[in-house]
Structure 1
């Protein structure tokens, strides 16, 4: 652990990994429970974790068994009574300390997030800053909560009282490992719940570092426990555990469905599921023709929404629809901008894993076989399992001539979750809204226009939990975060997170003397 914490630059981290590689003994992560790290039994299942930029094995991830999960949940349950009664000011102080320690080690977290996930170092720094904000925001939010009261005239005063819901399972994905894990842990602890967290087995390094932060910050034993492992064994045991009172999950829709099925008989369990997306970006002609500045911002925003973090953000706008009158102009300008500004190895990282590389490659093969036009990008080469020295690099790809129905239309319907974007023309507002909403998903949408009336007229018709007008990925942490349709259920953020992690009771106080 000390060597890992000392490796706070890319050069130092690379030197450490070369040292580990030469010793033929990958770094082995350890579970964190009862405020201590514990090594898994050598005979237990482990998962190899690979660096996306090089394909080399950098760590062994222990896979927590059902017995490991049971022990951690019981520890969290035992810690719950004291933590739920801990004064808000003390919880706030501890969360603020966590925020400060991450900030003090910002570059360390960014370096290992970049190595572990494949993202650029610049992108990793942005996400570390958001993780810092998650803890600082909820550390103060709980100090300024309000509640509602009502009077039954002449009979009783009623008021809403909130209390922590219990032990939570917090399961985060591989695309923004630290940011999305802290988005769950911070409010969970702030509102007085305890937790067992499971990061993705593909990207577990920042969670391992975060566990050491919790211990350094002085959080009480077992308030937060972090177990590593896969979904089939560790995740399944965690979400179905009868002592777990809630699940906050971010990931694929298929897994979200599995969680609902596994917990359908546990009515008491709070579920907050942020799932997949196939998000539209709508570009209207006025966004390009109003002024050169507007045109430049439109191209820049659409490109950022498509290719930031290699397109591995659930909120990316991977379906671009452009008003017919400016379609050709947009395609040319967009292609030129992407070619100049989104370059693999510089401003675009590697995709997260060999499995994901193969999935994206399969979609690009389909595009090639169906005669779609590659404005940028191409079908990447096959990488066989076991090949070393090859990273999982896919060029930013812009596709046109994509069929709306029949073979090949899956590129418009299915979540590719990579640096691939399609561009399709539309005739008018009604058709634009129809195209945008023609999806099983409803997580996010981007609307680019200078028409004030259209901003509301179209924006309020889009089937999306988050709609950005002339911007993308800006958030105030108190606003509701979540999607419609198959993009999930529940909302988190500010008071919406309070709804997830607390239970409400109404207290009636008689106004007449008893």
Structure 2
């Protein structure tokens, strides 16, 4: 494809702000070909003597199984070029006044708002989520840039006195060049959650979205161009983890890594950066989150809300949210009633192709199917759903659809209870009392989030403070104020982001001592 064809394709994509328009262009221009965004311009990565074949990754549309896009797999030479662009841009950007950085971020937020529906359409097509869910995530991306555009205008610092000797104060400097790596489940939202504070606090970056869902990042790069961001401040490159991501995080020129994704990849990042002690590290990894339902939450005037909350937390975005409550524990006195009402609610409310989208890829479909085959082999009870059909190469084009699945009687040591399935699958188990609920919730290698459903005010605090998680929602789920710390414990990661916690990630603090004489 020559540059004119590429420009025409990009223009055509930008005209597609409805599913109908997008379907029309895809019928004639499939697959889309993406380009890296480096030094303020789009480039097709070029081959070199050390990388004679850059290679492309085929990305498929989850709802149809059809080839959607060809994504460049950027080789180490191309990664280094992007890093050096960010490094060259850092001195000027780090000294740019906060008010000016704020204006850039605010402009990006405004452009996203102007093109809200276009981003939602392509996010829905690329990831498999419903259009309604995609709109929610675009709104959150808009909020990310808006929030950090104002946050940096109202920062505070600390000053202390050593009586009669010195005045000391804390000074923060941008940390440098960052590698920003985001996952496929909420592509735009989680990418902007990293880019917005990184740029706000004066750092430059090379961002790598998931190779499975790259289109919204490609569109976002064009918004950065429209907003007039200086060359090299933000660079977006495409590729897989072993080739592109590994080269990015391992570079000695990268001063920090913000990563959201799987625990095994987080472990690999820690290993590859072990000799770079100076690197700032924020790793938001997997979760196997418990929802604790106490008997008082199933009182006549509360049970409908309780069941709805637990189902939403389990099946929103096809269960492809790291914060989903995929282990439900219910007090034994109301366990049977809950299972019956929950199953019926899910059957009626969470419907494939209505508010349940397709899972993201054939590979992920096969992974979830493997867990459900295990459930069948272990004799676990399917209250709803079943083992989805095996897809052959011929029927792959039907898309990657899995019916919401409700499992009971799973052994506590089963992989179904202990491992992150990351799909529309939930297990329900009983507990005896408050202590037993906390024990079961904490019996996990993960510790990202938990949900507590109860009418008892004292229990809300007692249980929440004993749970080994980074976040707890009481009688609610997925509500966040962007200044609060986000992150997990145990194998769910290290570091926190949000407001001043993002400032800790992207800045270096030093203490300045001024003498009193």
Distance 1:244 1:41 in 2: 22
SS in 2 for 1:473: coil
Counterpart in the other structure of 2:456 = 451
**1:16-415 → structure 2 map (5 Å cutoff):** 16-21=25-30, 26-41=31-46, 43-289=53-299, 291-292=300-301, 294-385=302-393, 387-405=395-413, 409-415=414-420
Partner residue in 2 for 1:466: 471
1:389 deviates by 2.2
8 A Cα contact 1:107 1:125, kept in partner:
yes
1:80 offset after TM fit, Å?
0.2
Paired with 2:404 and 2:117, the residues of 1 have a C-alpha distance of 27
- Cα distance in 1 for partners of 2:218, 2:149 equals 22
Asked if the contact 1:402/1:422 (under 8 Å) is kept, the reply is yes
Tell me how far apart the structure 2 counterparts of residues 100 and 476 of structure 1 sit (CA, whole Å). Answer: 20
1:510 is aligned to 515
**TM-score, structure 2 normalization:** 0.96
Query: Deviation string for 1:360-400 (max 9, x for gaps)?
Result: 00000111111111111111000134644210000000000
Q: Tell me the distance in 2 between the aligned counterparts of 1:204 and 1:227.
A: 10
Please identify, of 365-374 and 148-157, the stretch whose mean Cα deviation from structure 2 is larger. Answer: 365-374
Distance in 1 separating the partners of 2:236 and 2:330:
45
Aligned partners of 1:354 and 1:385 also within 8 Å:
no
Q: What's the Cα RMSD here?
A: 0.8
SS class of match (2:252): coil
CA distance in 2, matches of 1:185, 1:97: 14
**CA offsets per residue over residues 123-180 of structure 1, 9 Å max, x none?**
0000000000000000000000000000000000000000100000000000000000
Residue aligned with 2:272, SS = helix
Question: 1:144 & 1:334 partners in 2: Cα distance?
Answer: 46
What is the alpha-carbon distance in structure 2 between the residues aligned to residue 170 and residue 159 of structure 1?
Answer: 30
Question: 2:148–2:200: 8 Å Cα contact kept in structure 1?
Answer: yes
Q: Distance in 1 between matches of 2:394 and 2:379?
A: 32
2:404–2:424 Cα contact (<8 Å) kept = yes
335-344 or 387-396, larger mean C-alpha shift: 387-396
Instruction: Say if 1:114 and 1:121, in contact at 8 Å, map to a contact too.
Output: yes
- Aligned to 2:235, the other structure's residue is in SS state strand
CA distance in 2, matches of 1:8, 1:36: 23
Structure 1 counterpart SS, 2:110: helix
d(CA) in 1 for partners of 2:446 and 2:218?
32
Give the drift of 1:229: 0.1
Q: How does 1:410-421 map to 2 (within 5 A)?
A: 410-421=415-426
Number of the residue aligned with 2:15: 6
Residues in 2 aligned to 1:388 and 1:264: alpha-carbon distance in whole angstroms: 41
Q: Is the contact made by 2:45 and 2:78 (CA closer than 8 Å) also made in structure 1?
A: no
SS class of match (1:48): strand
What is the match of residue 488 of structure 2?
483
Q: Residues of 1 paired with 2:394 and 2:107: CA distance?
A: 43
How big is the shift at 1:41?
3.8
Deviating more after overlay: 376-385 vs 265-274: 376-385
* Unpaired stretches in structure 2, ≥5 consecutive residues: 1-9, 48-52
What do the CA deviations read for 1:15-54 (whole angstroms, capped 9, x no partner)?
0000114xxxx21100000100002348421000000000
Q: CA separation in 2, counterparts of 1:125 and 1:72?
A: 31
Structure 2: distance between partners of 1:16 and 1:456? 53
- Following TM superposition, by how much is the alpha carbon of 1:295 offset from its aligned partner in structure 2, in angstroms? 1.3
Instruction: Give the whole-Å Cα distance in 2 for the aligned partners of 1:475 and 1:155.
Output: 44
Residue equivalent to 2:506: 501
Unaligned runs of 5+ in 1: none
| Aligned residue pair count | 503
Deviations 1:253-309 (A, max 9, x none): 0000000000000000000000000000000000011x42x2111111100000000
Cα displacement string for residues 208-229 of structure 1 (whole angstroms, at most 9, x for unaligned residues):
0000000000100000000000
